[in-house]
Structures are given as structure tokens and as C-alpha cells.
Chains A and B, each alone.
Chain A
Amino acid sequence: MNTITTIVKREYREFWRRGLLRWLLLPVLALLVMATLVGFQRHHRYQAEMAAGTELSRQHWENQGEKNPHSAAHYGIYLFKPLNALSFFDFGVNPYTGSVFFLEAHYRSNAAFAAINDRSTLGRFGIFSPAFLLAFIAPLLIIFFGHASVSGERRRGTLDLVAATGSSPRHWLLGKWLATMSLIPPLVLTVLATAVIAAAIHGPIPSESWWRLAGLALLYAVYLGVFANLSLIASALTKHSGASLMLLVAFWIGSGLALPRLAASTSEQLHPTPNQVQFEKLMSEEKKAGLPGDGDKQARTEKLKEETLASYGVDKLEDLPINFNALAMQADEEYSDRVFDKHYRELFTIHANQDRIHRLFSLLSPTLAVRLSSMALAGTSPEDHRHFSGQAEIYRREFVALLNHNMMVHSKTGDWGYKADGELWHAMPTFKSQPMDPRFQAARFGNHGAILAFWFLISTALLLGWLPRRVFRRSTGSGPIREPHATDPKPAHGEVTTPC
């Protein structure tokens, strides 16, 4: 134990005296503080804008004056996507999905499509979020600290002196490991501490969010732990610090950039997302022509007309006590919903398949794994957006049905001049989004968290279980840089270095 503290202390002295703490760690901590504060501020501003926007849209709605309900259904209403309190930490897909959505009759809100136009966003981070810094910049920091940890000592020869003391290689590596690992808590705790301060300034966030934030801190700690382990392993297995640095940066690029891009293009290749224009054209055609066996719109309306006349026991539409036009509009609305549901189910199946590919790639890319579980925990994932879009659609249907119903019961067929007043507008319920089932998010988080835990455990086992047996050994080619003359495989016969 004592020797381990000695080793950690020496590492820290070295970090300090080489200026690494001042010139590498401190700037990254400062960036994290800034990103957290800015993220909080943005979130807070968005909340205020959203509240104001919701209020304004409702006011316009309620004060639109006398109007035919169907016109009102096209006058529409704006929904503002509520953001999870933790979107200050991880913006997730939000920068790509937009957050203001317009609801009206006949059309499913574009909220559903927005998330998916470019699935490669899964591999991207909102620039400058704390999550981005922890997932991309912090690993580089760890790499810079760790890459020369063993190779540097081997190159300079201090490794031999350490080995010659007779101390245990496992203790030595454990000391190095602890020293490198100890850089991680400051990184994640800085975000937590800044969040506490920001919450005190801008107003509290739900207590449940604190738990999630703690989970995120742990998640990123494990993620960075993987980089710390890999840095030490690379440093122990390479001859030069330059080689280990190159290897590690290559891994960082592969994990952070190449594999996420590859995941995006592979999933798009295997499960192509339909083009939005075509997708909508297909739906509107199917609405008109009808699903197989249902007949076209005209035939469906004709059938409804006969059924309605029969059920009221009258012969002519004018004799109905209700407005058949409104009834037909609602029937058409509900038929459209069936068509939407069918197509969106297909679309969501494609998304689910694409997500599976991403998950597969995340086995190889800790960065993708941390990205996917971080979004899930922060409530900013594509699933969260999909969930919101489903909620918005349910509300839109209720909204349109209420308007059609009013027109149906308060006017007669052909009476397009009917106008409803403020009473109806006021009666319209406000939109309340239900939060996503936390169990689903937990499962998402758990899946990718498990991938990271796996990476961490394997690399730790390698580092502390396998490496100690060979770190003080010299296998061929892993010795210190020899003096030039010593590398001659066979000295020329008779060659003598003149004694001094």
C-alpha cells in the first residue's frame, strides 16, 4: 500500500512539474465549467421561450374570434417540445429535430420526421455540450497523460531502475493506474459541481434529474476509465511514446468519428430511410385510393352516407339532425390516421433496425456506446423525440376530432357558414406531454452502460492481470533505446574500442 502511494505521489509530482495539470487539465476543467453554465443558461432561456410561446399560441387560439371549426382546425396550434432538464448536459438530437411543431387537420405533424432526416446525427454531439467535452476532449486529455506512462520510462531507462528495486510490477502498474484514473473524478465532478451552482442561479431542476446526472457522471467516468486503461496498455506495449500516442489517437478517431459515421452509413445502406417527400406522397395517395379492399375516398364516403342515412332512418342528407360533412371529414381523418399509423409503423421499424446497427457498432466504439446511453439518460435521444412526436399526434387527433364533432352536432349538412365562438376555443384541452416510461430509458442506458462496463473490465483485467507479468521483462525489441553501437548484431571481428 505504501509503495503504491509512493508511486502515485511521484506520478503527480511529474504531472505537476511538467505543467500537465496547469496546461492540460485546468483548461479542460474550465471548458467544462463554461459548457455547463452555457448549457444551463440555454436550457433556461428555452424554457422561458417555450412557456411564452405556448402562452402566446394559446392566446391566439382562444381569441381567434368566430370561425368555422374546420377553418380553426387549419388555423392550427403550435406545440413546443418540452426539453428534459438534463438537455443542458447532453443536447442529444434536439439541435437536429427542432422544437416547435405546428398541428392542423389532415397532416401528421412534421415533428415525427424531423428527428430522422439524418440519422448520422446519432454519431454527432451538439458542439460544446458538457457531454461533448467529456466524450471527445476528455479522452484526449487522458491519452496525453497516459500514453508515455510506461513507454516513457522504458525509453529513459527509469523502468529498469524501478524493476531493479525488486518492487512488484503489479504495484507499480496499480500506482500508475490510480494516478491516471485520479484525473477522472475532477472532470466529472466539475460538471456536477457547476450544475449545482447553476441550479442555484437559474432555478432548481427536478430531484430525479440529479440522480440521472449522477448516473451520467458514473457513465462518463467508466468511459474515461476505458481510455485510461487503453492508454496505459498501449504505453506498456509500445517501444516509443510516439507510437503509443499514434495508436491511441487512431483509436480515438476510430471510436469517436470513424465508427459512428460507419454505423450511420451502414444502417442507412441496410435499412434506408424513405425520402420524406415520397413518404408523404405515398401516404396521400393511399389516403385517396384506400387500403386494399377499402375502395377509394369517394366509395368510402358513399358507403358512410348510406350507413348514416339508414341508421337515422332518413332518405336525404338534408333530413339528418347532424352535419354529414363534418361526420365525413372526421371519418376521413380517422382513415388517414390508419394510413399514417401503417406507414409510421414501417418507418419506426426501419428506425429500430437502424438503431440495432448502431448498437452493434457501439460494441466496437466506446464513444458511440457512451453517446447512446448518455442521450437515453439525459432524455434527449431519438426515442425521446419519437415519444414526443407520438404524444403530439395523439393530441392533434383529439384536437381535430373535437372541432369536427362540434361542427357535426351544431350545424346541418351543407352549412359551411356555421361559426363556433370562443367557448369552443376555450374548451380545447391544453397539451400535456406524458414523460417516457423510465423503464425503457433505463433499459437503453443499461444496454450501452453494459458495453462500457465490459470494455472497462476487460481492459482493467488486461492491465492489472496480464501486463504485470511482462512489463519489467524485455522481450525482443522492447528494451530501451540502445546506444547506437550496441545495436550491431555481430561486431566486426577484432573490433576494439580503444580504452580511454
Chain B
Amino acid sequence: MLEAKNLSKNYGHYTALSQLNLSIEAGEVFCLLGANGAGKTTTIHLFLNFIEPSEGEARVNGRSVVDAPHLARAELAYIPERVNVYDQLTGVENLDFFAQLGGQRHGRSELLDYLSQVGLPARAAYQRVATYSKGMRQKVCLAIALAKQARALLLDEPTSGLDPKAANEFIQLLGDLAERGVAILMATHDLFRAREVGHRVGIMKQGHLLETVPTSSISATDLEKLYLQHMHD
């Protein structure tokens, strides 16, 4: 569903991402681990065609995102690191707005249903987002993904800034989405949760994807060891 072929991004002489090759299937959760500046956000932005690749290409459902950015985006959902929907709108109004931008109209009860599926009760749905926590705003974004019937989800450090309970809840929701066949690419520092929810984790450093490991074959402690080892190389 998500595919990178020799995907690279340079800023002048500086290489933000170098020769990334990656393929994420429908229903698979792939976690990108890496320190700040490793190139995780760059990867996600390349899939969204927010930036143009210097080399290689990113594909969504077999379609090059540079050639057909709108079609590719129509299949994607994105939750940025600093997730912000419109403060002045309520949760349900936000959901309605973004769904309509994506070309979909849902009735009020449907919208509320999507929000409750991601754990946002109706009472909260009718409050302005200005009063929401980060976790609640992320839920609105997940509801947007649901309403859109996105085939792939791009997440940038979703658990940073969440309290542990909210983070667990969120990870749970991601698992549910994956079970429905959504391909998920998640950039994170949180390697325990990455191991928990991810089918594979990739370790990234200075624009290079150094190693990819299936989570089923590695314990949390070993993953941490492996990660730190790469960081110190």
C-alpha cells in the first residue's frame, strides 16, 4: 500500500533522507524509530507530496504521489506531530469539514458514530476543540481517517505528549485500524509502544534506514539494545 523506492531528499548538500526502500502492506503497522533529525518526518512528508523527492519515488496504492498527489492523498490520512484541528469548531464540525473536503458527506449521527468509535463521547464532540487535549485532537484526526476510509495512515510521533493512559488507548485504536486493513506508517521515539503495535520496526539514522526487524522476533530489551547500539556507532 505504501511503497518507497530509492526515496531521497537533499537540502542543498545536506541529505535528509537517503535511498529509502520500504513497502508496507495493507493491515501492516510499520514503525520508524530514530533520533531527532533522522529523517522520519521527511519520509512522511514525501508520502504526502508536501515536499518533492530529490531522487526515487513514493507510491500509494501503486500510484506515484508526484504524478497524482490529490489521488494519493485521497487514500491517505495524516496525523501530524503537532496535531491541530480548528480550535473554533467543535469536534464534530471539524470532522464534518474535513470529510467534506475529502468529498464525503455524512449525517450527524454517522459523524458522532465515527467519533465514538475512536473514543470521543458525544458530549466532547459538541465542545470546541480549543478545550481539547492533544489526545482528543488526535482522536478527531483518527475519526477523519475512519470517515475517509483511508487505506493508509501516516503518523508523526503520535504518542509524544500523551499521558501513558492516553498513549495506550491510542495505540489500541491503531491496532484496530490495522485489523481493518489500513496500512500504517508511524514515526516515533517510543520504542516500547512501537514494538507493541508494529509488525516491523525500522531504525533510522541521519537519513538512512539502517535495519528493519519484525517485532515478533525481538524482545523489548533487545530492541532497545539494538537501537542504542546503532545510535552509538
Contacts and interface: CB of A to CB of B under 8 A. Distances in A.
A10 B51 CA distance: 27
B14 A164 contact: no
Contacts of A2: 100, 105
Contact of B70 (A17, A166, A486, A495): A166
Contact of A160 (B50, B52, B227): B50
A167 B36 contact: no
Contacts of A6: 97, 100-101
Contacts of A160: 48, 50, 78, 80
A53 B86 CA distance: 63
Contact of A473 (B38, B51, B76, B148): B51
Interface string A460-500: 00000000000011101000100101101111001111011
Interface centre among A2, A3, A162, A167 (most CB of B within 10 A): A167
Interface in A152-168: 156-158, 160-168
Contacts of A500: 159, 164, 167, 189-190, 192
B37 A486 contact: yes
B80 A166 contact: no
A491 B101 contact: no
A14 B90 CA distance: 11
A476 B227 CA distance: 30
Interface string A140-159: 00000000000000001110
Interface residues of A, number: 40
A74 interface: no
Contacts of A490: 14, 37, 206
B77 interface: yes
Contacts of A432: none
A18 interface: yes
Given A3-B100, A158-B86, A494-B231, A489 B37 contact: yes
Contacts of A476: 11
Interface string B50-90: 11100000000000000001111111111011111111110
Q: Is the interface of A mostly helix, strand, loop or mixed?
A: loop
Nearest to A167: B101
B102 interface: yes
A490 B71 CA distance: 34
B186 interface: no
Interface in A228-281: none
Interface in B206-230: 206, 224, 227-228
A302 B72 CA distance: 100
Contacts of B190: 499-500
A24 to B, nearest CB: 15
B118 to A, nearest CB: 16
Q: Is the interface of B mostly helix, strand, loop or mixed?
A: mixed
Interface in B98-135: 98, 100-103, 105, 128
Interface in B144-200: 144, 148, 159, 164, 167, 189-192
A167 B102 contact: yes
Contact of A495 (B36, B72, B75, B227): B36
Contacts of B69: 166
Interface in A163-181: 163-168, 172
Contacts of A157: 80, 82-84
A10 B86 contact: yes
B141 interface: yes
B18 interface: no
B41 interface: yes
A13 interface: yes
Contact of B78 (A14, A156, A161, A167): A161
A489 B14 contact: yes
Contact of A13 (B73, B89, B102, B105): B89
Contacts of B74: 165-166
A491 B81 contact: no
7 contacts: A13-B89, A14-B89, A160-B80, A161-B141, A165-B98, A166-B76, A486-B81
Interface of A: 2-3, 6-7, 10, 13-14, 17-18, 156-158, 160-168, 172, 472-474, 476, 480, 483, 485-486, 488-491, 494-497, 499-500
Given A491-B38, A500-B189, 10 more contacts: A3-B101, A17-B89, A17-B128, A160-B78, A162-B101, A167-B70, A473-B50, A491-B35, A491-B37, A500-B164
